[in-house]
Amino acid sequence: MKVLMINYEFPPIGGGAGQAHLAILKQYAGKSYLQVDVLASAPKPGFAVQKLSENVTLYTVGVHKKNLHYWRKIEVVEWVIKATGPYRRLLRENRYDLVHAFFGLPTGWLCYRTANRLPYIISLRGSDVPGGHARLQLEYKMMGPLLKRIWQKAAALVACSDGLKNRALKFLPSANIDIIPNGIDLDKFHPVANKELSGELKLLTVGRLSVTKRFEMLVEAVEMLSKQGKNVRLTISGGGGLLDELKNFVEQKKLTGIVNLTGRIESDKMPDVYRQHDMFVSASMQEGMSNAMLEAMASGLPIITTKCEGVEELISDNGIVVGTDSAESLTEAIIKLAENEQGYKTMCAAARRRAGNFGWDKVAQGYIKLYQRVLSKK
């Protein structure tokens, strides 16, 4: 089986989708029955080829990237234009069985234009599915008709959570959508033995600094906790275009010594970051399925979160999904858990146990079965 995978985000560019793609490739490595070429992006102009394993080859098309975690429209257009030539050349030089694209747009556009020659699968990731993303409402309106055509021609559509599938079906009710969740490296991310709360409550949130994450709500919750005399610290780990704006907000709230904005932290250092904290908090309004929540769970951290896609699969006895999207609700949930030592320990154990259902090996096998199903109909 020979597969071409394409993704306009790939580490170090982007967020969860790129990390998920890389994790899947690590599972594909060494499978003699599977040959994989990957067409992706790089942060500086140029074209490069790299062998990731004997059966996985990475081709990167570089763009003038200003921020690794934020795509300007001109950068998206630049990647599509520059990637079109290599994409067509790879199709001419190789007899692929199918194409697997991450994101309906812009990557799905390349597949759509060659649909008469080769079937394609699209992994829907979140931002490429029309919904409540404040920054992309104009794009959803302008590109909606094209996106529907891209979905309709796909041999298969895959969402990473029930919530994302439901959002996609509101956009295109006739779509047939499979669900293959995100995964987690259970060896890389693991808990601290005998985890206990200390005098200082250490909260953590991880993600690209975008409006959908509503980091200001978390900062306001910390402000409330501090005013109630709680010894609390919040670490916000992630890069993005809103870093300066968020720093200013923290300064306005006079929380500079309490809220720590680390910027992006290298992935190999993140396991220690999780283990140094007590709880994972999130105010996200929109996700596919949060990789950061999975990492926190595997690290034995309870989750306090607002309701968004993916939480139904991830959160049960290992966290609290607040009833209303507000700093007050988050504050109440954090205090409730912090003041229940036994309940906290129980949730820590449940978090790790539940993470065990999301190994990347299961995710990769799910995609391989999907490839086989598509090819059986070819």
Flag whether 189 is in a domain. no
> Do residue 20 and residue 83 come from a single domain?
yes
Q: What is the pLDDT of residues 109-129, one digit of tens each?
A: 999 999 999 999 999 987 788
Q: What is the pLDDT of residues 277-334, one digit of tens each?
A: 999 999 988 777 788 999 999 999 999 999 887 788 889 999 999 989 999 999 999 9
> Do residue 144 and residue 177 come from a single domain?
yes
Flag whether 192 is in a domain. no
Q: Report residue 346 CA to chain centroid gap.
A: 27
Q: List C-alpha distances in Å: 31 to 15, 25, 372, 376.
A: 26, 10, 15, 20
> Do residue 152 and residue 225 come from a single domain?
no
pLDDT of 136: 63
Distance CA 68, CA 136 (A): 18
For residue 213, give the nearest of 183, 239, 179, 177 by alpha carbon: 239
Identify the domain containing residue 119 by its residue range.
Answer: 2-183+359-376
Go through the chain and tell me how many residues it has: 378
Report percent pLDDT > 90 for the chain. 71
Distance CA 22, CA 10 (A): 8
pLDDT of 135: 59
Q: Is 181 left (phi over 0), alpha (psi -120 to 50) or beta?
A: beta
> Do residue 233 and residue 128 come from a single domain?
no
Assign 125 to helix, strand or coil: coil
Q: What is the mean pLDDT of residues 191-204?
A: 88
Flag whether 126 is in a domain. yes
pLDDT of 162: 86
> Do residue 149 and residue 6 come from a single domain?
yes
> Do residue 282 and residue 176 come from a single domain?
no
Flag whether 195 is in a domain. no
| pLDDT above 90 (res 242) | no
Sign of the four-CA dihedral 196, 296, 242, 285: negative
DSSP 356: G
> Do residue 146 and residue 216 come from a single domain?
no
Residue pair 279/230 in contact by the 8 Å Cβ criterion? no
pLDDT band at 56 (very low <50, low <70, confident <90, very high): very high
> Do residue 55 and residue 92 come from a single domain?
yes
CATH for 19: 3.40.50.2000
